[in-house]
Structure 1
Amino acid sequence: MGNDRAFTYNGGAVPPGETQNIRYGISETYLGDPVRIPVTIVNGERDGPTCFLTAAAHGDELNGIEVVREVAHEWDLSDLRGTLVCLPVLNVPGFLAQQRYLPVYDRDLNRSFPGKPGSTSSKRMAHRIYANFIEPCDFGIDFHTSTRGRTNMLHARGDMTDEGVYRLAMAFGSSVIIDSDGPSGTLRGEATADGIPTITVEMGEAHRFQRRLIDDALAGVRSAFAEYGMLETESVRWPGWRTIVAGSGEKTWLRADSGGIVDTHYESGSLVQEGERIATITNPFKEDAVGVKAPFTGLLIGVLENPVVYPGNPLCHLVEVDESTERVLESETTVSGTGSR
C-alpha cells in the first residue's frame, strides 16, 4: 500500500519517497545566531508507522548519536514502510560544550518536555523539538548513557503497564528491562503519557563511542522495526535471556559509606550473589579497607568507572533477578569465564 502522507513540521514538509537533512532552529545565542539541531527525516514510499530516534538529550552522552546516525545514513531504507525521524543531537549547546546540561542555563533538557512556549529557555527548546518532531510519531526510542564516571550495561527502561511500551520494549530485545515511569519532564515519560509509546535505552558511559554497545543497540532498532513492519527483511530478536525488573522488584544504587579509592571487583553486567564483596574502599596507604557487599543476589547494570569517592557517592546499580535468569547467567559465566576480576 502506498504512502500518501507527507511528514510536516513548522517550516517544511517531506513528501513520500524523500529524505531530508535539515538543521532546525530551536533557540538563539547571545549574539542572536540560531541554535539549530540536526534532523534527518526519511519518509518511505509505502505506508507504515512513524518512529522517532533521539540521542544526546544530555550533551555528553555520545553512544546514541552514532546509533541514530548509522540508522539514518548507513542503512538501506529504500524499502522503509512508514516514516523515520532521526534526531541524533537534541542538546546542541551541551554537545558543543561537552557537558550534560544546557550550558549557561544549567537546565536539564530531559526534564523540560513537552516544553512550553513563552517559558524558560530549556522549555522553549523542548517545545520546538516536541511539537515538530515527537508529537507526529507513533512510537520512539530515546538513547542515553550513564553520567560521567559511571557506565551502564545496555538495557531498556519504560512503563511496562502501558501496552504500547511493553510491545516496543520486548521488540527491542535487550536482556534487561527496567519497568518504571519516566520522571516528570522526561521525553519518554511525556511522550508515553501523550499516547506515543517510548522507551529509554541506557548504554555505556559518557564522552565516548563504545562499538560493541552501539552494534547491540543497532540490532535492537532493527528488531523493533521488524515488529512494526517497517523493514520486512528483518526479524524480531530474542536476546537469549531476559529479566524485567518491576517497580516492586528490588533495585538499588549502593553508595559509599566512607571516602577513598575504590577497587571494583565486578564489571557491569555481572551476576553477584548476596553477601559477595562487590568493591573495596581504601585510603592512599591501602589501610582501613571497607568492603561493600551485595545486599541481595542480582545483576550489576551500572558500575563506577572513576575510582574515587566521597561518602554517599554511588558505587554500583544492582537489580534483582529471578531464579531462572540467575541460572542462565551462572551458566554463561561458567562458559565465558566472565565475572569477578
Structure 2
Amino acid sequence: MADSFTYDGGSVAPGETQNLRYSVSETYLGDPVRIPVTVVNGERDGPTVVLSAAAHGDELNGIEVVREVAHEWDHADLVGTLVCLPVLNVQGFIAQQRYLPIHDRDLNRSFPGSPDSTSAKRIAHRIFQNFIAPCDLGIDFHTSTRGRTNAVHVRADMDDEGVSRVANAFASHVIIDSTGPSGALRREATAAGVPTVTVEMGEAHRFQRSLIDRALAGTLSVLNEFGARTDGVVSWPGWRTVIGDDDEKTWLRADVGGLVEMHHERSALVEAGERVCTITNPFKRESGAIRAPFTGLLVGVLENPLVYPGNPVCHLVELDEATRHAVEMHRSSRSEPQG
C-alpha cells in the first residue's frame, strides 16, 4: 500500500487526486500568490515523480504537457505518485514574461531557495521543499526564449546514474550533457537526491502540438522505465547523440546587423562549410553569411529575423560520421518530421 504524499498544509492519501492552489508569496496588497498543483497518488507504492513547467513564465509548451498528464491520462493503474506543477512562475505567467516581475529575477536560478532571502528565493524554497525534495525523479519542461526555437532535446548531467536513466528513457535524439547552472531546478534537485532533467522544446508564447505530443510520449516512456506505468514500453528514438564537454557545440552569432534569412529549420542536418543563413540590409543586399564550422544538427534556430552584431542565430551541435549516417537512414525510412 502506498503512503500519503504530505506537504506543508495538507496530504494526499493513496488512491486520491488533489488539485490545489498553493501559496508561495504575496502581492503588494497582501493577497496570496498561489501556484496550481495536482497530486495524483496511486494506490500502490512506487516512485514519486515531479513534472514541472513555466519556471520561465512565457514558456508555455510544457504547461500543456503537465496538464494533459495530470488531467487527461487514466491513472487507474498508476504505481506511485505524480506531482504536477504546470506553472511555477505564476507572476511571470500572468505578465507573460520570462522572469519574475519582482526585480526581474530568474526563478530558475533561485533553487533550492531560502526562507530568509530574496522574494525569488523564498518562492523557490516553498516550491522546492514541498513539491520537489520529496520526489524520486523529475522532468522540468522549458522552451527557448522569445525569438528563437528549440528542437526537442534533453539537458542532463549524464555522470549521475539516476539522471542518465531519466534522460535515456525520455528518448530524445539529442542529450546535452552538463550539470546545469547554479540555482537551476534540475541541478539543485539532482544535488538533493532527486535526479532531474530539463526538456527543451519549441519556442515561447505558444502551444506547439507536435512538440507537446513528443514530450508526452517521452514522459510516458520515463514513467514506464521507473515502473510508475505498466501500459507501454520504454522508447528508443532510432538514433541518439550525447553532446559532452569534448564535443563541438556553439551558438553561431551574427557579425553584422540586419535581417536574417534562415536556410534551414530546427533539427536540420548541416554540413561543415554549408551556409546556414544570410543576413541582408534594408536594400536586400547581402551584408553577411553564417556557415557551419562543423557538421552537425541545429537544435536551436532564430525565429525573429532581426539581429544586431553578436546576437545568437542558431545552436549547432556536432555529429560524428556514424551518427550522421544513422540520422539520414532513420529519416529516410520514417519520413521523420523535424522537431
Partner amino acid, structure 2, of 1:52: V
Query: Between Structure 1 and Structure 2, how many residues are aligned?
Result: 337
Q: 81, 84, 89: which one pairs with 1:83?
A: 81
Q: Gaps spanning 5+ residues in structure 2: where?
A: none
**Contact 2:51/2:138 (CA < 8 Å) preserved in 1?**
yes
When normalised by structure 1's length, the TM-score is 0.97
Alignment of 1:106-125 (within 5 A): 106-125=104-123
Aligned to 1:199: 197
Alignment equivalent of 1:307, drawn from 300, 305, 308: 305
The within-5 A match list for 1:92-107 is 92-107=90-105
Residue 15 in structure 1 maps to residue 13 in structure 2: yes
Q: Secondary structure in 2 aligned to 1:153?
A: strand
Query: What CA distance in whole angstroms lies between the structure 1 residues aligned with 2:325 and 2:43?
Result: 46
Q: Counterpart of 1:70 in structure 2: which amino acid?
A: E
1:239-278 equivalence runs, <5 A = 239-278=237-276
- The separation in 2 between residues aligned to 1:334 and 1:19, in whole angstroms, is 44
Equivalent residue for 1:127, pick from 120, 125, 128:
125
**Residue pair 2:111, 2:183 contacting (<8 A) in 1 also:** yes
1:190 matched to which residue of 2?
188
Partner of residue 277, structure 2: 279
Aligned identity (percent) is 70
Q: CA deviation at 1:248?
A: 1.4
Secondary structure of 2:33 counterpart: strand
Tell me if structure 2 keeps the 8 A contact 1:298–1:318. yes
Distance in 2, Cα, partners of 1:338 & 1:43: 36
Q: Alpha-carbon deviations, 1:110-130, whole Å to 9, x = none?
A: 000000011000000000000
Shift of 1:287: 1.5
Query: What amino acid maps onto 2:15 in structure 1?
Result: G
**Residue deviations 1:161-196, cap 9 Å, x none?**
000011110011111100011100000000111111
1:184 and 1:291 map into 2 onto residues whose CA distance is 35
The residue identity in structure 1 corresponding to 2:212 is I
Kept after mapping to 2: 8 A contact 1:105/1:122: no
Partner of 1:105, secondary structure, is helix
Q: In 1, Cα distance between the equivalents of 2:255 and 2:193? A: 42
Task: Give per-residue Cα distances to partners, 1:114-157, cap 9 Å, x unaligned.
Answer: 00011000000000000000000000000000000000000000
Distance between the aligned counterparts of 1:278 and 1:332, measured in 2? 23
Task: Kindly indicate whether the alpha-carbon contact (under 8 Å) linking 2:256 and 2:287 is maintained by their aligned counterparts in 1.
Answer: no
Relative to structure 1, the CA distance from residue 337 to residue 38 in structure 2 (aligned partners, 3 Å threshold; closer, same or farther) is closer
Report the CA distance between 1:242 and its aligned residue. 0.6
Distance between the aligned counterparts of 2:102 and 2:10, measured in 1?
30
Alpha-carbon deviations, 1:179-221, whole Å to 9, x = none? 0111000000001111110000000000000000000000000
- In the alignment, the residues of structure 1 paired with residue 103 and residue 75 of structure 2 have an alpha-carbon distance, to the nearest angstrom, of 38
Q: Which residue of structure 2 lines up, in the alignment, with residue 171 of structure 1?
A: 169
| Residue matched to 1:46 | 44
CA contact (8 A) 1:6 1:14 kept: yes
Q: Distance in 2 between matches of 1:322 and 1:192?
A: 30
In structure 2, how many angstroms separate the alpha carbons of the residues matched to 1:316 and 1:236?
31
Asked if 1:327 is matched to 2:325, the reply is yes
Q: Which runs of 5+ in 1 are unaligned?
A: none
1:333 Cα deviation (Å)?
5.5
Which residue of structure 2 aligns with residue 209 of structure 1? 207
Q: Deviation of residue 12 (structure 1)?
A: 0.2
Question: Aligned partners of 1:227 and 1:333: how far apart in 2?
Answer: 26
Please tell me the residue identity of whatever aligns with 2:22.
Answer: Y
Change (3 A) 1:338 1:280: farther
Q: Aligned letter for 1:106? A: D
Counterpart of 1:28 (choices 26, 29, 39) is 26
Contact 1:146–1:206 (8 Å) recurs in 2: yes
CA distance in 2, matches of 1:193, 1:280: 43
* DSSP-derived class of the 2:47 partner: strand
How much does 1:321 deviate? Answer: 1.2
Matches of 2:214 and 2:316, distance apart in 1: 21
Task: Say which of 153, 159, 165 aligns to 2:151.
Answer: 153
Compute the displacement of 1:334 (Å). Answer: 5.3
Query: Counterparts in 2 of 1:139-150, with a 5 A limit?
Result: 139-150=137-148
Tell me the SS of whatever aligns to 1:117. coil
- Code of the residue aligned with 1:55 in structure 2: it is A
| Deviation for aligned residue 1:82 | 0.5
